[in-house]
């Protein structure tokens, strides 16, 4: 392993300190709101999302507000401040501003002061009008993530996206016109039928738009999706791993050259524009999720909401709770989770923090594993870091280090 104090990517541009009027002992809390409605189901998507149910939005709003209220009454949040709020989906832009405001207003009242550093939402190209975007901004939303996925018509078609490349561009322009200064674009690569040239062109087109943040996801075949059925039946062949890795590496280098270093495996940002909400997850902050299929992690306990809109609506109506299952996170789970999440970050795993929390010197206790992966790992400034050549192996390395 090499030691190089100059190489560490420091997320120093992100200020995780509180404003001076706040109690320094308060802990950050990330809030997630799941909006499960979509206009069409994409072939690869296994996020909980349903089509043709927009008529249920009014009752969904009523129930989600009840769920938030119930949390406010039952959880002791006095030791926390809300750091980030994220509206994810599904398709959050299917909630017009007045409806989204009802939820935002309630979640921000979970703690006092009711404010957040980052309030983000996902939008689908072509589905949010300029007028609505201006209103979202006026509500306090300050980060927009646009699911562009690709600029190539044949790939958008394969993924059964209902938007065109032109819509991605016009939506991006509208987002800017509405005044958003923190904008992200999502792209998917390693899509069957995609060439290196397609991928290079997608990245170049997105960089030309100059968003602050870019997420690049390798297409994964998730159980229960149309893509899974096609692959299973042999109708579709996914790209070879080497092609996938080649696209990833090219993309990472290209984005770095263009001023978007990757701070997490799939995420690249201009310095200072890393997604604060996701960093909260990856750094082990507590979070509360509302809406069907949302997850929470609070007080060493993780729980999952019901992944079915009707059942969610019924249960919240009866009990105020959306939970379906829960588990207590013991020390060994906490340890594994820390390894898994931190090694995804370019900043790596803080060995001092790990040692203090678990009373274990990882460099000693996992000597053999570290030796096995010596070509991919470095210790930089007391952080265990996976170097660029090992990023494609992150899952294997993490799983070897976990106990």
Ligand X SMILES: C[S@@+](CC[C@H](N)C(=O)[O-])C[C@H]1O[C@@H](n2cnc3c(N)ncnc32)[C@H](O)[C@@H]1O
Give me the least distance between CB of 6 and ligand X, in Å please.
Answer: 33
Question: Applying CB under 6 A, which residues contact ligand SF4?
Answer: 38, 41-42, 45, 47, 49, 89-91, 124, 147
For the chain, the maximum distance between any two Cα atoms, rounded to a whole number of angstroms, is 60
Q: Choose the binding region for ligand X from 85-93, 232-240, 302-310, 312-320 (rule: CB under 6 A).
A: 85-93
Q: Where would I find the H helices in 140-275?
A: 153-158, 165-177, 196-209, 226-232, 241-257
Question: Which residue of 29, 67, 85, 91 would you call a contact of ligand X, by CB under 6 A?
Answer: 91
Q: Which does 41 bind (CB under 5 to 8 A by kind): ligand SF4, ligand X, none?
A: ligand SF4
Residue 238 DSSP code: P
Give me the least distance between CB of 100 and ligand SF4, in Å please.
Answer: 16
| Helical (H) or strand (E) element with 52 | none
Whose CA is closest to 229, among 43, 64, 90? 43
Site membership for ligand X, residue 291 (CB under 6 A): no
Q: Choose the binding region for ligand X from 42-50, 247-255, 317-325, 335-343 (rule: CB under 6 A).
A: 42-50
Q: Which does 36 bind (CB under 5 to 8 A by kind): ligand SF4, ligand X, none?
A: none
Site membership for ligand X, residue 202 (CB under 6 A): no
Angle, vertex CA 90, rays to CA 87 and CA 95, nearest 5: 60
- Specify the residue, 293 or 316, whose C-beta has the smaller distance to ligand SF4: 293
The CA distance from 344 to 118, in Å, is 22
The CA distance from 341 to 345, in Å, is 7
Pairing of strands 27-35, 80-89: parallel
Give me the least distance between CB of 93 and ligand X, in Å please.
Answer: 9
Give me the least distance between CB of 162 and ligand SF4, in Å please.
Answer: 8
Site membership for ligand X, residue 211 (CB under 6 A): no
Give me the least distance between CB of 292 and ligand SF4, in Å please.
Answer: 13
Pairing of strands 80-89, 50-51: unpaired
Q: Which does 188 bind (CB under 5 to 8 A by kind): ligand X, ligand SF4, none?
A: ligand X
Burial string for 138-152 (b: 16+ CB within 10 Å, else e) reads eeebbbbbbbbbbbb
């Amino acid at each position: 392993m090499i030691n190089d104090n100059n190489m560490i990517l420091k997320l120093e541009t992100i200020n995780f300190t509180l404003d001076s009027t706040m109690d320094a002992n308060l802990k950050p809390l990330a809030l997630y709101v799941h909006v499960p409605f979509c206009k069409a189901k994409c072939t690869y998507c296994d996020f909980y999302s349903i089509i043709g149910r927009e008529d249920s939005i009014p009752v969904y709003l009523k129930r989600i507000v009840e769920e938030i209220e119930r949390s406010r009454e039952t959880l002791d949040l006095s030791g926390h401040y809300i750091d980030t709020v994220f509206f994810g989906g599904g398709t959050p832009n299917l909630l017009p501003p007045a409806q989204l405001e009802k939820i935002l207003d309630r979640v921000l009242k979970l703690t006092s002061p009711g404010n957040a550093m980052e309030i983000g939402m996902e939008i689908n190209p072509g589905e949010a009008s300029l007028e609505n975007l201006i209103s979202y901004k006026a509500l306090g939303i300050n980060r927009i993530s646009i699911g562009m996925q690709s600029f190539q018509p044949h790939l958008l078609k394969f993924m059964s996206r209902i938007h065109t490349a032109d819509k991605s561009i016009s939506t991006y322009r509208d987002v800017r016109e509405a005044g958003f200064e923190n904008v992200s674009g999502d792209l998917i690569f390693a899509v069957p039928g995609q060439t290196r040239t397609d991928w290079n062109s997608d990245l170049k087109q997105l960089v030309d738009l100059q968003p602050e943040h870019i997420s690049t996801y390798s297409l994964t075949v998730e159980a229960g999706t149309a893509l899974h059925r096609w692959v299973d039946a042999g109708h579709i062949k996914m790209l070879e791993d080497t092609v996938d890795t080649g696209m990833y590496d090219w993309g990472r280098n290209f984005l770095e050259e263009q001023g978007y270093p990757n701070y997490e495996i799939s995420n690249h940002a201009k310095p200072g524009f890393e997604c604060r909400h996701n960093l909260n997850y990856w750094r082990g902050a507590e979070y509360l999720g509302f809406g069907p299929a949302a997850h929470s992690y609070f007080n060493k306990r993780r729980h999952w909401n019901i992944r079915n809109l009707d059942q969610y609506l019924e249960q919240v109506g009866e009990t105020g709770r959306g939970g379906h299952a829960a588990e207590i996170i013991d020390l060994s789970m906490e340890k594994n989770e820390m390894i898994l999440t931190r090694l995804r970050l370019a900043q790596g795993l803080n060995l001092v923090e790990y040692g203090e929390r678990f009373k274990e010197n990882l460099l000693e206790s996992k000597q053999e594993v570290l030796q096995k992966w010596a070509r991919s790992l470095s210790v930089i400034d007391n952080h265990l870091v996976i170097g660029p050549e090992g990023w494609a192996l992150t899952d294997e390395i993490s799983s070897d280090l976990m106990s």
